[in-house]
A = this chain, B = another copy of it.
């Protein structure tokens, strides 16, 4: 295994998740970056598009059409939803696919169509996709060819709540997920509301009840809980670049306490290298996971009897996207799971 080299192509290398995958993969001993695509930047060097990667020796950016997939072992996709379904469906069987986009996350392609506004173009392939939340789905990820990496919000929410629903220590009704994300969550596209002068020194909610991560969260909470879950999901845009905090307000199952929840999570994640269940009265903070693949979770009793608050913090670009993609990559290629992901959080 020492000299195993995986030839890897990154689709969408001019976006934040693509670039963060490259940042991590460039120091991974078994990854060779063989091709990089970026539609509107084809022909340019990565150094021009992402100067922080200028010291790397990377292939020039190309269009999708220019990629020769014959020598490629792995495709990592960081493109906007809906743009690569056909291409991915047409890849040789020998290529493993780690998709960071939303294309294969929703099992029901009708829900996909309702959520993303157009019919799914690779519904057959969808059936073989595995939902790539590594800690909760490791065995299936290992044996699949196509991993649909979760959205950043679902990653944090499901890491916090799925084991609790599975263990029946919380109830499935009235789950309130008050979520907060840094601005990179909106991507590198040009939008007025993500300009520094618009988003800085300010805070607002957005996408209440209609955010595209809602069906994804509900799909997986339903799976964990064993019956249909409809959950509140209220995201907010926070003036920071990286980081995501989900504050989940839940009902305790009869006879359980916040301490039981914490204990349940600690047991569930025992031995997991990236999961850190915090001691009582200790608050997760996004600045304490920044740049790393870690997820910190804290549990708190509520003033309202019978309720608790479960809070999870991740870096939305790492554990919420590129880091988890690399973690899945390691699982799929039978490489030690922490390889390339050893970086500690960078604070301050």
Q: Mark A172-189, 1 if CB is under 8 A from B, else 0.
A: 011010101011100010
Cross-chain contact of A208 among B236, B285, B294, B309 (Cβ < 8 A) = B309
Tell me, yes or no, whether A78 is within 8 Å of chain B by CB.
Answer: no
Please pick, from B23, B232, B276, the residue contacting A249 in the complex, using a CB distance under 8 A.
B232
Q: Is the CB of B194 within 8 A of A243?
A: no
Q: Which of B27, B209, B303 is the one whose CB lies under 8 Å from A232?
A: B303
Nearest chain B CB to A174 CB, angstrom units: 7
Q: Which of A45-53, A100-108, A260-268, A327-335 contacts B (4 or more CB under 8 A)?
A: A45-53
| B209 with A197: CB separation less than 8 A | no
Contacts A196-B194, A209-B302 given; indicate if A286 touches B204 (C-beta within 8 A): yes
Q: State whether A344 touches B240 (Cβ < 8 A).
A: no
Interchain CB contact under 8 A, B287 and A202 = yes
Nearest B residue (CB) for A345: B52
In this complex, what residue of B is CB-closest to A191? Answer: B190
For the complex, is A214 an interface residue (Cβ under 8 Å from B)? yes
| A201 contacts B290, C-beta separation under 8 Å | yes
Contacting residue for A230 out of B50, B180, B303, B343, CB 8 A: B303
Contacts A232-B304, A238-B238, A302-B232 hold; do A311 and B205 have CB atoms under 8 A apart?
yes
Out of B195, B206, B230, B285, which one reaches A196, CB within 8 Å? Answer: B195
Q: Are A195 and B194 in contact (CB under 8 A)?
A: yes
Interface contact B196-A183, CB-CB below 8 Å: yes
- Chain B residue numbers with a CB within 8 Å of A233 are 303
Query: Could you tell me the distance in whole angstroms from the C-beta of A80 to the nearest C-beta in chain B?
Result: 16
- A208 to B304, alpha carbons, bound, how many Å? 12
Q: Which residues of B contact A236 (CB under 8 A)?
A: 180, 245, 247
* Ranked 6 nearest A-B pairs via Cβ: A202-B287, A204-B285, A190-B190, A197-B348, A178-B178, A52-B345
A-B contact pairs, 14 of them (CB 8 A): A16-B348, A51-B285, A52-B292, A183-B195, A183-B200, A196-B198, A196-B239, A197-B241, A200-B240, A202-B243, A204-B283, A204-B285, A205-B284, A208-B300
The residues of A with any CB-CB pair to B shorter than 8 Å are: 16, 19, 23, 26-27, 50-56, 173-174, 176, 178, 180, 182-184, 188, 190-192, 194-206, 208-209, 214, 230-234, 236, 238-243, 245, 247, 249, 276, 282-292, 294, 298, 300-305, 307, 309, 311, 313, 342-348
